[in-house]
């Protein structure tokens, strides 16, 4: 259950970073590059999520399943 919680938290954090970047892009007139920083954070979270899923699979913490349970 802990592994699934970590996966959901990382996924939600990536979505929040993406939404924050969108807000910075639309509403922030400054030249502080906050949109770029937000997108870098989202990429880092997505890569971390992918690596964690692969690592969890190889450690046997999660198992793939078909469409029918």
Q: 19-50: per-residue pLDDT in tens? A: 988 888 888 777 778 888 888 999 999 999 99
Share of the chain above pLDDT 90, in %: 54
Q: Would you say residue 43 lies in a domain?
A: yes
Entry pTM: 0.80
pLDDT number for residue 69 = 61
Give the pLDDT of residue 24: 84
What pLDDT does residue 33 have? 81
In a domain, 66, yes or no: no
CA nearest to 61, candidates 19, 2, 13: 2
> What is the count of structural domains for the chain?
1
- Residue 7 falls inside a structural domain: no
Side-chain-side CA neighbours of residue 49 (13 Å): 18
Structure confidence at residue 59 (pLDDT): 93
Residue 52 and residue 7 in contact, taking contact as beta carbons nearer than 8 Å:
yes
Indicate the angle between helix axes 34-59 and 2-27, nearest 10 degrees: 160
Two structure tokens written together for 30: 């400054």
Show the domain range for 53.
17-22+32-59
1 inside domain? no
């Amino acid at each position: 259950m802990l592994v699934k919680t970590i996966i959901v938290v990382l996924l939600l954090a990536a979505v929040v970073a993406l939404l924050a970047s969108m807000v910075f892009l639309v509403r922030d007139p400054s030249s502080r590059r906050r949109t770029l920083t937000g997108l870098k954070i989202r990429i880092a979270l997505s890569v971390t999520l992918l690596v964690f899923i692969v690592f969890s699979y190889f450690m046997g913490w999660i198992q793939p399943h078909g469409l029918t349970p």
